[in-house]
Amino acid sequence: MGYPSLRMRRWRRTQHLRDLVSEVRLELSNLVYPIFVDEGADSVTPIASMPGISRFPISRVAEEARDAVEKGVRAVLLFGVPYLKDEVGSGAFLTDGVIQKAIRKLKREFGDEVVVMADVCLCEYTSHGHCGVIKGSEVVNDLTLSVLQKVAVSQAEAGVDVVAPSAMMDGQVKAIREALDDSGHDQTAILSYSAKYASGFYSCFREAARCAPKQGDRRGYQMDYRNAREALREMELDLEEGADAIMVKPALAYLDIIRLARDRLNAPIAAYNVSGEYAMVKAAAQNGWVDEKAAALEILTGIKRAGADIIITYFAKDVKRWMETE
Ligand code: PBG
């Protein structure tokens, strides 16, 4: 049986008919809101390339998280911008480092009402801006692992719910899992940035977190965007090493990778709708070239349809309002 008795448009006729057959729906409970915590700042500083996003002093972080909660978002991902940087990124694992203080504050204020995640990486804390310890021009994998272990344990001690290693060092998940277990933090989850590509879409983040590499780029450790099978292997390895969830990053040019993960792996999958992807929509919207709400909801729903469970997005605080007025 085909046309004219078969008509695909029957289910599209009204909003409620469409809702009945919708295959995916974006939920606020899927979203994670990234927050930049700036140790050196004494006021909230907007990030020029990311309209609506700011760096927050430690004293204002709880207020920002409260705003996210009021807008229906229950998970935040913290990035620290330290006052001082050094060669090995030691600011990343201080007991009273910027991120540890922020984690303590949020946990004291919100308890289990907010899921607190933190990035485990060195690039925001190193003077050279690379994600690991360097020797000459090399980012040395195995030396970096012990530093990442300290970072994760210090965050767990501060009470973080989920650590998110993003340095793309081989063996980092195994090293972090071991260090967490050995220090009595067997309930701290690991969301691994498993398939993290060397991307042109991180530039605004690097402005926000002041973490652009001074020399060279990250292609020696982040993935080559020509590869999909390699991403699957990275994700499988991270699961074997003990990751509780895996991440694909960026999201938009990598929807096929999200789908591949969904079809082949049974762990929760996160996708990071990164800074450059956010900035593109904002810039076009500010010029009146796209409608921000329509474009953003379409993108976020597309990421979910591709197979992501968790979506990390700078739009997180806007979604509730947009969904209510859809
Ligand atoms: C840290 C890190 C980066 C991002 C998240 N964690 C930057 C990078 O790898 O250069 C980018 C996130 C974004 O662009 O929104 N390594």
User: Which pLDDT score, from 0 to 100, does residue 227 have?
Assistant: 98
Alpha-carbon distance of 202 to 96, in angstroms, equals 28
Which of the listed residues 120, 166, 282 should we mutate to test ligand 1's pocket, taking the one with most ligand atoms within 8 A of CB?
A: 166
Residue 2 lies in a domain: no
- What are 260-315's pLDDT values in tens digits? 999 999 999 999 999 999 999 999 999 999 999 999 999 999 999 999 999 999 99
Residue 210: CB partners within 8 Å, gap ≥ 6? 81, 124
Would you say residue 326 has pLDDT above 90?
no
**Residues designated catalytic:** 196, 249
The reported pTM is 0.97
Q: In this predicted structure, what is the pLDDT of residue 325?
A: 87
- Please say whether the beta carbons of 181 and 154 come within 8 A: no
Residue with the smallest CA separation from ligand 1 atom 14 is 202
**In-domain check, residue 21:** no
Parallel, antiparallel or unpaired: strands 162-165 and 138-139 = unpaired
Instruction: For residue 251, give the nearest of 226, 233, 238, 269 by alpha carbon.
Output: 269
Q: Judge whether 7 lies within some domain.
A: no
The closest-lying atom of ligand 1 relative to the alpha carbon of residue 196 is: 9
pLDDT tens digit string along 76-121?
Answer: 999 999 999 999 999 999 999 999 999 999 999 999 999 999 999 9
Mean pLDDT of the chain: 97
Residue bearing the CA closest to ligand 1, atom 2? 166
**33 found inside a domain:** yes
Of 103, 94, 78, 79, the residue nearest 159 (C-alpha): 103
pLDDT in tens, 190-219: 999 999 999 999 999 998 988 899 889 999
Residue bearing the CA closest to ligand 1, atom 7: 202
Q: Tell me the best of 53, 205, 248 to mutate to test the pocket of ligand 1, counting ligand atoms within 8 Å of each CB and taking the most.
A: 205
Residue 245 maps to which CATH number? 3.20.20.70
Whether 37 is covered by a domain: the verdict is yes
Question: Is residue 122 situated within a structural domain?
Answer: yes
Residue 20 lies in a domain: no
pLDDT, tens digit, 9 for 90 and up, residues 237-272: 999 999 999 999 999 999 999 999 999 999 999 999
| d(C-alpha 82, C-alpha 126), whole Å | 10
Total domains, the chain? 1
- CA dist 316 and 55 (Å) reads 16
Atom of ligand 1 nearest to the CA of 167: 16
Q: Does any domain span residue 9?
A: no
Instruction: Output the ligand 1 site: residues, CB below 6 A.
Output: 119, 121, 123, 131, 166, 202, 205-206, 218, 274-275
C-alpha 162 to ligand 1 mean position (Å): 17
For residue 196, give the nearest of 214, 177, 217, 169 by alpha carbon: 169
Taking only the tens place, the pLDDT of each residue in 143-152 is 999 999 999 9
Domain assignment of residue 33, given as a range: 26-324
DSSP per position, 31-54: EEEEEEEETT-SS-EE-TTSTT-E
